[in-house]
Amino acid sequence: MAQTNSSAQGLHIGFIMDGNGRWAKKRGLPRNMGHSKGAQVFQDMVKYCKQLGVQTVTFYAFSTENWKRPQDEVDAIMKLLKEYLLRAFDYKKEDNRIIVLGDRSVLTPEIQRLIFEIEDGTKQNTGMTINVAINYGGREELTHAARALAQQVADGKLLPQQIDEELLAGQLYTAGQKDPDFILRPSGEKRLSNFMLWQSAYAEFIYMDVLWPDFTRKDLDWAIAEFNSRSRRYGGL
């Protein structure tokens, strides 16, 4: 029977997986080894969040800016993504729903096919939702949403004055999902890096010095405890 933790029950946690390259450099290893170790941590965090009763997890896997990295590193990351998308079929047994956030049009046809099969194969699942952000950027997401609404106006299906926050949110990659309760970033960096700009309006931010490949279940326990110690007022008293 799955373990649950009342302090984590129903949460949406966003993970900015950062520090893979620095982890490898500190050990004199190729950067690709850092990404490989980070992917293992990703898999363990999925399992642990499920055990804790977390409702939704969103992992920042590959940003729209990451294409600027050396080609061999990009190729290695894409290979890892493909491998973990293949493994994702196992999540069907866990009743998890898998959704890929981001512009997938520039991804290889093979990866696009895998994404479609995984999303289609898990769309009826009612367990934890696993969002994996691939070729994702918060600004691009908002631009994509604005274009969709502008097209509806141009088609005569919508008046400009009818556009509100709810309509715009309905055009985001996370449409219909709960906004993140907190966003966790290891590695010591203290910025969003274009991650979930709209959805993080009232999210708590938790920064940790540990590099992502060294991130453990105890680190997540600490982050959840830190989140629960805070008072969320949403602009009120």
For the stretch 100-111, pLDDT in tens is 999 999 999 999
Q: Predicted confidence band at 223 (pLDDT cuts at 50, 70, 90)? A: very high
Q: Mean of the pLDDT values across residues 14-18?
A: 96
pLDDT at 28 over 60: yes
Q: What are 195-207's pLDDT values in tens digits?
A: 999 999 999 999 9
Assess whether pLDDT exceeds 70 at residue 89. no
The C-alpha atoms of residue 20 and residue 213 are separated, in whole angstroms, by 6
Over residues 78-97, the mean pLDDT reads 77
3-class secondary-structure state, position 42: helix
Distance (Å, whole) CA 185 – CA 171: 26
CA 84 to each of CA 61, 90, 93, 230, 236: distance values in angstroms, whole numbers, following the listed order: 11, 10, 15, 34, 42
Residue 191 phi/psi, 5-degree rounding, is -155, 160
Residue 232 banded pLDDT, cuts 50, 70, 90: confident
Residue range 87-110: average pLDDT? 85
Domain ranges of the chain: 12-137+179-228
Q: Which of 29-33, 85-89, 116-120, 143-147 ranks highest by mean pLDDT?
A: 143-147
Can you give the pLDDT at residue 1? 40
The residues annotated with a catalytic role in the active site are 18, 66
Q: Tell the CATH superfamily of the 12-137+179-228 domain.
A: Decaprenyl diphosphate synthase-like (3.40.1180.10)
pLDDT at 92: 65
Instruction: Name the 3-class secondary structure at 204.
Output: strand
- Looking at the DSSP bridge assignments, the partners of residue 134 are 62
Residues in the chain: 237
Residue 33's alpha-carbon distances to 76, 77, 139, in angstroms, are 9, 10, 30
Q: What is the pLDDT of residues 138-167, one digit of tens each?
A: 999 999 999 999 999 999 999 999 999 999
Which pLDDT band, with edges at 50, 70 and 90, does 2 fall under?
very low
d(CA 173, CA 101): 6
pLDDT reported for residue 4: 56
**pLDDT of 88 higher than 90:** no
CA distances from 22 to 13, 62, 148 (A): 24, 16, 39
| Torsion of the alpha carbons at 119, 128, 74 and 32, rounded to the nearest 10 | -140
pLDDT of residue 84: 75
Measured between alpha carbons, how far is 86 from 148 in angstroms, rounded to an integer? 31
Q: Are 39 and 215 in contact (CB under 8 A)?
A: no
Sheet strands (E) in the chain: 12-16, 56-63, 97-101, 129-136, 182-185, 204-207
